């Protein structure tokens, strides 16, 4: 018996899970997700921020319907997966492993959308981050268009007005905006996204003046000027990039936010006030607030009509 199978069995015979619509049809869905996701994250902790980013990219476009997981086909060679912001998504193998085990135990029951929602949470819990409630029952969408990613996904280069509107358009508040930005406390950002910010901010070979000078120098060292580079990364939270905590807010308050969208949180009275509260209080409410905002996020599109795919990368044609 493999180590992975042992983990699954241990989880299944553990404490009873909370109520879910799969109570009769696939009662161990949450235990299976927790066991397999934890196994993958233990081997590669980057799956935790990767899956968190993936679920946001999914839910921000057409709701949480797993449309971000669909592979291109001859009839649609530009799915969401192929859009530039999604080329660096990380964690597909975790979703696929959980889905494969669920198909083995209860075929045709649990959607890929639910699997993505669960694995994103279980990955953060595996690195000692907060747990949040996930209402289950999503269906998988059949439509996935790269053009909609750029249209609906909030940009890391956006100003505060654009960010607030993007979040409001999907039913999230200014509080959700600043709270969910706190996800940048773990993981790395891709240097290609901040190239202009570091080397040509206004088109005159300059650096964004909103970046603290010593941090700008550090970022230039870690992110050398190189076009088309999708592999070079740097920590988004230089204080504690592997720990889920409130230090992201300290970083931003010091003008050391990695993205322009991070720095933009200082340009709004509410988001700046919330940010400063977390700094001053040592993150007194951050875990609770993050859990609440994530539950709101993963409810987007819950219950819409769709299908349950057999594999997460392809539409299930009956």
**Integer Cα distance of 48 and 143 in angstroms:** 26
- Is residue 61 annotated as involved in ligand binding? yes
185 labelled as ligand-binding?
yes
**How far are the Cα atoms of 57, 181, 211 from residue 247, in angstroms, in the given order?**
23, 12, 17
Ligand-binding annotation for 28, yes or no, is: no
pLDDT of residue 305: 77
The stretch 83-105 carries a mean pLDDT of: 97
- Residue positions annotated with a catalytic role: 57
- Does residue 190 have a known ligand-binding role? no
pLDDT tens digits, residue range 192-229?
999 999 999 999 999 999 999 999 999 999 999 988 88
Task: Tell me, rounded to whole angstroms, the distance of Cα 295 from its chain centroid.
Answer: 13
217 alpha carbon, distance to own chain's centre: 28
What are the tens digits of pLDDT across the range 134-182?
A: 999 999 999 999 999 999 999 999 999 999 999 999 999 999 999 999 9
Count Cα neighbours of 276 within 13 Å in the Cβ-side half-sphere.
8
With CA atoms as reference, report the closest residue to 114 among 76, 86, 149, 141: 141
* Sign of CA pseudo-dihedral 187, 293, 177, 276: negative
Of 270, 252, 269, the C-alpha closest to 261 is 252
Say what the pLDDT of residue 228 is.
Answer: 80
301 — pLDDT class (breaks 50, 70, 90): confident
Return the structure tokens found at 264.
Answer: 């933009």
For residues 109 and 17, give the distance between their C-alpha atoms in angstroms, rounded to a whole number: 17
- Going by pLDDT thresholds of 50, 70 and 90, the confidence category of residue 4 is very low
Q: How far apart are CA 99 and CA 35, in angstroms?
A: 13
Average of pLDDT values for 48-75? 97
Q: How many CB atoms lie within 10 A of CB 318?
A: 3
Q: What is the Cα–Cα distance from 278 to 267, expressed in whole angstroms? A: 17
Residue-wise pLDDT tens digits, 255-299:
999 999 999 999 999 999 999 999 999 999 999 999 999 999 999
* Measured CA distances, 250 to 188, 245, 268, 269 (Å): 17, 10, 16, 16
Higher pLDDT, 305 or 223: 223
Contacts of 86 (CB under 8 A, 6+ apart): 57, 68, 80, 149
Report the pLDDT averaged over residues 61-75: 96
pLDDT level of residue 19 (50, 70, 90 thresholds): low
Instruction: Look at residue 12 in the predicted model and tell me its pLDDT.
Output: 43
- 184 compared with 15, residue with greater pLDDT: 184
Q: Quick check: helix, strand or coil at residue 235?
A: strand
Mean pLDDT within 232-245: 94
- Provide the CB-side half-sphere exposure for 134 (13 A, CA): 24
Q: Does the structure show a pLDDT above 80 at 73? A: yes
Is 154 part of any known ligand binding site? yes
CB distance 262 to 276 below 8 Å: no
Is 262 within any annotated ligand binding site?
A: no
Asked if residue 67 belongs to a known ligand binding site, the reply is yes
- Tens of pLDDT, residue by residue over 124-134, are 999 999 999 99
Residue 181's CB: how many other CB atoms inside 10 A? 26
pLDDT at 15 > cutoff 60: no
Q: What are 45's two structure tokens?
A: 């902790």
Residue 14, pLDDT > 60, answer no
Report how far residue 112's alpha carbon sits from residue 109's, in angstroms, rounded to the nearest whole number.
10
Amino acid 11: pLDDT:
45
Average pLDDT of the residues in 7-30: 65
Name the pLDDT band for 302 (thresholds 50, 70, 90). Answer: confident
- The mean pLDDT value for 216-243 works out to 93
pLDDT above 90 coverage of the chain, percent: 89
Is position 114 annotated in a ligand binding site?
A: no
Radius of gyration of the chain (CA): 20
In whole numbers, what is the pLDDT of the chain averaged over residues?
Answer: 93
Per-residue pLDDT at 7 exceeds 50 = no
């Amino acid at each position: 018996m493999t180590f992975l199978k042992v983990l699954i069995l241990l989880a299944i015979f553990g404490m009873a899970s909370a109520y879910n619509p799969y109570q009769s049809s696939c009662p161990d869905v949450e235990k299976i997700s927790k066991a397999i996701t934890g196994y993958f994250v233990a081997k590669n902790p980057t799956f935790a921020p990767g899956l968190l980013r993936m679920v946001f990219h999914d839910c921000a476009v057409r709701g949480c319907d797993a449309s971000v997981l669909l592979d291109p086909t001859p009839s649609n060679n530009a799915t969401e997966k192929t859009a530039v912001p999604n080329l660096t998504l990380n964690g597909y193998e975790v979703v696929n492993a959980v889905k494969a085990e669920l198909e083995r135990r209860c075929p045709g029951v649990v959607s890929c959308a639910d699997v993505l929602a669960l694995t994103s949470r279980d990955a953060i819990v595996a690195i000692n981050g907060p747990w949040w409630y996930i209402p289950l029952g999503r269906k998988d969408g059949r439509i996935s268009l790269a053009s909609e990613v750029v249209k609906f996904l909030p940009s890391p280069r956006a100003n505060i007005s654009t960010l607030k509107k993007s979040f409001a358009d999907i039913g999230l508040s200014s509080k959700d905006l600043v709270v969910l930005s706190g996800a940048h406390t773990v993981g790395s950002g891709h240097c290609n996204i901040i190239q202009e910010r570091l080397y040509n901010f206004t088109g005159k070979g300059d650096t964004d003046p909103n970046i603290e000078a010593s941090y700008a120098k550090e970022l230039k060292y870690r992110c050398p000027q190189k076009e088309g580079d999708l592999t070079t990364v740097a920590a988004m939270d230089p204080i504690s990039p592997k720990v889920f905590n409130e230090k992201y807010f300290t970083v931003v308050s010091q003008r050391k936010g990695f993205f322009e969208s991070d720095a933009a949180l200082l340009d709004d009275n509410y988001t700046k006030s919330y940010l400063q509260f977390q700094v001053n209080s040592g993150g007194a409410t951050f875990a609770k607030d993050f859990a609440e905002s994530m539950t709101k996020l993963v409810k987007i599109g819950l219950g819409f009509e769709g299908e349950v795919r057999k594999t997460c990368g392809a539409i299930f044609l009956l």
